[in-house]
Structure 1
Amino acid sequence: MSLINVTNLTFAYDGSYDNIFENASFQIDTDWKLGFTGRNGRGKTTFLNLLLGKYEYAGHISANVGFDYFPYPVQNKQNLTLDVIEDIFPDYQHWQLMRELSLLKVSEDVLYRPFDSLSNGEQTKVLLAALFLKENRFLLIDEPTNHLDMHARKLVSDYLKTKKGFILVSHDRAFLDNCVDHILSINKTGLEIQKGNFSDWWENKQRQDNFELAENDKLKKDIKRLSEASKRTGNWSHEVEKTKNGTRNSGSKVDKGYIGHKAAKMMKRSKSMEHRQQSAMEEKSKLLNNIESSESLKISQLAFHKSQLVELDHVSISYGDKMVCGDISFTIEQGDRIALSGKNGSGKSSIIKLICGEDLNYTGTFRKGSQLKISYVSQDTSRLQGNLSDYAADNGIEESLFKSILRKLDFSRVQFEKDISAYSGGQKKKVLIAKSLCEKVHLHIWDEPLNFIDVISRMQIEELLLEYSPTILFVEHDSEFCNQIATKIVEL
């Protein structure tokens, strides 16, 4: 066991006015299985890059271990997988590699295939196995779940559960809960560490947020009461002071000393109330700094003229001689929230393409309602570029609504001035989802919409789909999301 010490860490990107980290100090035990969470664009990957020494920063980071980053950058993907592993760790023992691959249910034959012929899931598992062969290294694992189906996620999560000495960035709640024992969270005001898994952290956060909201409400009432009382007492003091120059009703002279003493006493009481009011305001200012805004989203779907929107009856899809899926039968009725499930390569994206109108080679019966309007969210964000105003205009959506949804998904106004290509992976995905929520359609089709999206935004989207019950077909490997949302599951 050794410690990674972070002391007064301060960092901002060149040309940026805002610090991403400011005087952050904490310790990480290198034996921990550390989950790393926070909203998109807060600096999770930036912090991993600071540990790797990629940027200059103020403050100090000290560690007695070396760091390795996942996903490891493979320069030549045409090389055999065995050669890729040797590039990562030339001194590995073959039996140790086979032990790791066995735990990840990867067969030995993948070692003798070109790395780029492996599926995304196989590449993820091979790279993790190779990196965990090294000793005295602390792994920085950045969103390994994005290309894993549900089955592979469980497998990799179980694998990580047997390991220690890593930071894991993931927004998949079930994945984190299974394999971490501490949580590092980036909040609005900095970084903090708690013992436990994600659910423990989330429960503590909600408890703290609820306490602060109640305390804030109480202090608001106290401040208002003290302000009114102070004003009244000040007015009384002023009125009493005025009587010093008058006479009593009996005609006798007033006792100016007594009245002055009484006025001073009331003024002192007023000042005391003002002081208590100021203290209450200062106490109030310390609250709610880390409460995340998660305003509710809206979706207004068009009603279709028939209850059944789409029907597939014994549909099989082929590319050339290769059949990607066979004998698929299901219908999409109004109000259905259908999770299209299955391992990677089972044909989920092909089914989506067929419904969206791509000209694919298929057999069986496929019917789609005439004039059916569909909004599609793609897995791919690589082509996104330009500014948000132009993007809204090009896609025929209302700019103010589009930006309002992005604000609710935790976009700061400064993000609106940037080129979309400079956004984080999660922010790009939010652009696609916000666009989809603006479109007037009968059916939403979302293909892995939650890749890179932070947990709080996932919960907002869950609440949206449960409240408005739109007709939606989606592919998503976040088991928690599927369990909450799906009214039907179509297993391929």
Structure 2
Amino acid sequence: MSLINVTNLTFAHEGSYDNIFENVSFQLDTDWKLGFTGRNGRGKTTFMNLLLGKYEYSGKISAKVSFDYFPFHVEHKEYHTIDVVEEIYPDYQHWELMRELSLLEVSEDILYRPFDSLSNGEQTKVLLAALFLKEDSFLLIDEPTNHLDMKARRLVSHYLNSKSGFILVSHDRSFLDHCVDHILSINKTNIEIQKGNFSDWWENKQRQDQSELAENEHLRKDIRRLSEAAKRTSDWSDKVEKSKNGTRNSGSKLDKGYVGHKAAKMMKRSKGIEQRQQTSIDDRSKLLKNIESSENLKISQLTYHKNQLAELIGVSIQYGEKTVCEDVSFTIEQGERIALSGKNGSGKSSIIKLICGEELSYTGTFRKGSQLKISYVSQDTSHLEGNLTDYARRNDIDESLFKAILRKLDFSRVQFEKNIEDYSGGQKKKVLIAKSLCEKVHLHIWDEPLNFIDVISRMQIEELLHEYAPTILFVEHDSEFCNNIATKVIEL
């Protein structure tokens, strides 16, 4: 066991006015299985790059271990996989590599295939196996679940659970729960470390949020009560002060010393109330800093004139000689939230392309409602460019609603001023989702929409979909999201 000490870490990207980290201090144990969570753009990848020594910063990071990053950059993807492993770790023992691959259910024959011929899942497993061969190395594992199907996610989570000494960035709640024993969270105003898995952390966060909201309500009432008391006392003080002069006309004698003493006493009481009021205001200002706020949105989907929007009966799709899916049958009816499930390569994206109107070679029966309007969210974000205002105008969507949805998904005002190509991967996916929710359509089709999107935003998207209740067909490997959203699951 050794420690990673972070002391007074302060960092801002060049040209930025805002610090991502400011005087941050904490300590990590190199034996921990550490889940790393936080909203998109809060600095998770930046922090890992700081550990790797890629940026200059003020403060101190000290550690007796070296750091390795996943996914490892493979420069020659055309090389055989065994040569790629040797690039990562030249001193590896073959039997140790075989042990790791066996744990990940990867057969030896893929070592003698070109690395770029492997599926995304196979590449992920090989790189993890190679990196865990290194001794005295603390692994920084950045979103290994992207593009992994549910079965591969379960397998990789069991593998990581058998290891120790890593920081894992993942936005899949179930995946995190199965393989971490501590959570490092970047909140709105601080960084926290808690023992336990993601569900433990989330339960503690909700409990803390509720406690702060209750305390906030108590202080708010206290401030209002003290404000009213201060006003009454001030009014009394003014009346007493005026009475010193008002008695001249009445003809009676007045003890001005007594009146002055009484006025001073009331003034002192007024100052005391004012002080208590300020203390309550100060206490209140310390609350709610890490509560992720959201606002209610008015979103509406078009209603189609028929209940059934599309139907597939015994559909098989071919690409040349290859059949990618076979005998697929299901209907899409208004109000349904359908999860299209199956391992990678089972034809999910092909079914989506067919429904969206792409010309594909298929057999069987496919019917789609005439004049059916569809909004499609693709896996690819590389086409996004320009600022949000121009993007909304180009896509003929309501700019105010578009930005309101992005605000709900934790976009700051600063983000609105940047070009979309400068956003993080998760922020770009949020742009596509917000655009889709703004479009006046009968059916939403989303293909792996949650890649790179942070956990809290995933929960907020779930809330939006429950509240807004659109008809939607989606492919997503986050099992929690599917369980919470889908009204019907189509297994390919």
Amino acid at match of 1:150: M
User: Do residues 132 (structure 1) and 139 (structure 2) align?
Assistant: no
| SS at structure 2 position matched to 1:346 | coil
> In structure 1, how many angstroms separate the alpha carbons of the residues matched to 2:279 and 2:17?
31
Q: Is the 8 A contact 2:182 2:196 kept in 1?
A: yes
Are 1:298 and 1:464, in contact at CA under 8 Å, matched by a contact in 2? no
Aligned counterparts of 2:369 and 2:478: Cα–Cα separation in 1? 30
Q: Which moved more, 1:286-295 or 1:348-357?
A: 286-295
Match of 2:314 in 1: 314
Which residue is 2:144 aligned to?
A: 144
Shift of 1:467: 2.2
Matched, 1:265 2:260: no
Q: How many residues align?
A: 492
Aligned to 2:277: 277
| 1:391 to partner: Cα distance | 1.3
Separation in 1 of the partners of 2:38 and 2:292? 10
Maintained 8 Å contact 2:35/2:197: yes
Amino acid at match of 2:350: S
The answer for unaligned runs of 5 or more in structure 1 is none
Look up the match of 1:71.
71
Moved more, 461-470 or 30-39: 461-470
Alignment of 1:134-283 (within 5 A): 134-247=134-247, 251-283=251-283
Bigger shift: residues 298-307 or 6-15: 298-307
TM (norm. structure 1) is 0.98
- The one-character-per-residue Cα deviations of 1:48-101 (angstroms, maximum 9, x if unpaired) are 000000000010000000000001000010000000000000011111111111
Question: Deviation of residue 249 (structure 1)?
Answer: 9.7
Residue 332 (structure 1) shift: 0.6
Show structure 2 runs of 5+ residues with no match: none
Q: Does 1:420 align with 2:420?
A: yes
Name the counterpart of 1:489. Answer: 489
Residues 433-479 of structure 1: CA deviation (Å, up to 9, x unaligned): 00000100000000001111111111111112222321110000000
**Alignment of structure 1 residues 277-296 onto 2, 5 Å:** 277-296=277-296
1:391 alignment partner in structure 2: 391
Contact 1:317–1:360 (CA<8 Å) still a contact in 2?
A: yes
Shift of 1:262: 1.0
Quote the Cα distance in structure 2 between the aligned partners of 1:149 and 1:80.
24
- The alignment status of 1:411 with 2:408, answered yes or no, reads no
Letter of the 1:339 partner, please give it: A
Structure 1 window deviating more from structure 2 (115-124 vs 257-266): it is: 257-266
The residue number in structure 2 matching 1:453 is 453
> Is contact 1:42–1:186 with CA below 8 Å preserved after alignment?
yes
How far did residue 120 of structure 1 move?
0.3
> Aligned Cα RMSD in Å?
1.1
User: Taking every aligned residue pair, what percent have the same amino acid on both sides?
Assistant: 82
Q: Name the residue aligned to 2:40.
A: 40
Measure how far apart 1:200 and its partner are: 0.7
- Secondary structure (helix, strand or coil) at the match of 1:328 reads strand
Moved more, 388-397 or 357-366: 388-397
> Is the 1:171–1:455 contact (alpha carbons within 8 Å) kept by the matching residues of 2?
yes
After superposition, give the CA deviation of every residue in 1:165-187 in whole Å (9 maximum; x if it has no partner): 00000110000011101000001
For the 8 Å contact 1:297–1:460, the answer to whether it is kept is: no
Distance in 2, Cα, partners of 1:427 & 1:245:
68
- SS of the residue aligned with 1:481? helix
Alpha carbons 1:36, 1:184 under 8 Å: kept: yes
Measured in 2, the distance between the counterparts of 1:235 and 1:75 equals 78
Deviations 1:239-286 (A, max 9, x none): 112222343898431011111111111111111000100111111110
Deviates more, 1:380-389 or 1:1-10: 380-389
Secondary structure of residue in 2 paired with 1:226: helix
On the 8 A contact 1:387/1:418 being kept in 2, the answer is: yes
SS at match of 2:18: coil
SS at match of 2:354: helix
Report the equivalent of 1:400.
400
Question: Contact conserved, 1:212 with 1:288, CA < 8 A, in 2?
Answer: yes
Tell me how far apart the structure 2 counterparts of residues 414 and 243 of structure 1 sit (CA, whole Å): 57
Checking the alignment, whether the CA contact within 8 Å between 1:309 and 1:368 is kept in structure 2 is: yes
Structure 1 segment 41-120 matched on structure 2, within 5 A: 41-120=41-120
Q: Which amino acid aligns with 2:455?
A: V
AA in 2 matched with 1:194: Q
Q: Distance in 2 between matches of 1:191 and 1:471?
A: 39
- Alpha-carbon deviation of 1:366? 0.7
Question: Given residue 472 of structure 1, which amino acid in structure 2 is its aligned partner?
Answer: I
Preserved CA contact (<8 Å) 1:295 1:460: no
Kindly indicate whether the alpha-carbon contact (under 8 Å) linking 2:171 and 2:455 is maintained by their aligned counterparts in 1.
yes
SS at match of 1:371: coil
Q: Determine if contact 1:348/1:475 at 8 Å carries over to the other structure.
A: yes
* Mapped contact 2:297–2:404 kept (Cα < 8 A): no
Is contact 1:294-1:456 (8 Å) kept?
no
SS at match of 1:366: strand
8 Å CA contact retained: 1:298, 1:437: no
Deviation string 1:367-425 (CA, Å, 9 cap, x unpaired) is: 11111100000011122111112211221212222112111111111111211111000
Q: CA deviation at 1:317?
A: 0.5
CA shift in 2, pair 1:110/1:296, >3 Å: farther
Distance 1:459 1:295 in 2: 14
Q: 1:45 to 1:401 in 2, by over 3 A?
A: same
Q: Contact conserved, 1:297 with 1:461, CA < 8 A, in 2?
A: no
SS in 2 for 1:145: coil
Determine the structure 2 residue equivalent to 1:326.
Answer: 326
Show CA shifts across 1:198-224 (max 9, x none).
Answer: 011111111111111111111111111
- Do the aligned partners of 2:7 and 2:61 also contact (CA within 8 Å) in 1? yes
Who is 1:432 aligned against?
A: 432
- Please tell me the residue identity of whatever aligns with 1:264: A
**Aligned residue type for 2:313:** D
- 3-state DSSP of counterpart to 1:147: coil
Matched, 1:479 2:479: yes
**Deviation at residue 297 of structure 1 after TM alignment:** 4.3
Any conservation in 2 of the 1:296–1:460 contact (CA below 8 Å)? no
CA distance in 1, matches of 2:46, 2:295: 27
